[in-house]
Amino acid sequence: MTRNFKYSGAIVLGMHDALVSLTGMIGGLTMALADRKLIILSAVIASVAAGLSMGASCYLAEKTHENNCAVRAGITTGAAYIATCALLILPYIIIFDTYYAMLAAFAMAVVIIFGCNWFICRKRGCGFWRHAFEMLAICVGVSIVAFAIGEFAKFSLGVNI
């Protein structure tokens, strides 16, 4: 395996977890809060904490499998997580309407999913569409559940921010 492609699993782990968790989170926050600055603040805090956690978890998992490159794999996973989150938060920074920002973040997620899968499938010679749509379906499913939770929490708790 080439050096450039050696850590593709670590990149996909960090990127995909960020896509699934942060799109769900920002979707839920957008529905529950609708306050752009609170969404950005919450997303940044959660992204950094989760990115560090993902990196540490990857390191420990690789270390358990006696991988000599466990540190590099952990750093790669954490960096991929945080970089993906930064791209998903960016629309909230530049677009002031939270619903349009949410749509832009979801569009960014689709671009990231298709771009990553295109690159990996091109290198490995595997079926692009199946991999891309599987990752997209998981991301969409989690986001829908988070929307529902956000609306239910907002209604149940009487939160109107």
Q: Which amino acid is at 111?
A: V
Length in residues, the chain: 161
Q: Within a 10 A sphere around the Cβ of 124, how many other Cβ atoms?
A: 12
In this prediction, residue 101 carries a pLDDT of 96
* List of residues 6+ apart from 34 with CB closer than 8 A: 98, 161
Q: What angle do CA 91, 16, 43 make, to 5 degrees?
A: 40
In this prediction, residue 1 carries a pLDDT of 44
Taking the C-alpha atoms of residue 24 and residue 6, their distance in angstroms, rounded to an integer, is 29
Residue 101: closest CA among 151, 42, 21, 30? 30
In this prediction, residue 130 carries a pLDDT of 86
Alpha helices per DSSP H over 33-125: 36-64, 70-94, 98-124
Phi, psi (deg, nearest 5) at residue 34 = 60, 20
Could you report the average pLDDT of every consecutive run of 10 residues in the chain (161 residues)?
65 89 86 87 96 94 90 94 97 96 94 88 81 86 78 79 62
Question: Dihedral angle at the C-alpha atoms of 53, 57, 58, 59, nearest 10 degrees?
Answer: 100
In this prediction, residue 161 carries a pLDDT of 62
Phi-psi region of 97 (alpha: psi -120 to 50; beta: other; left: phi over 0): beta
In this prediction, residue 99 carries a pLDDT of 93
pTM score above 0.85: no
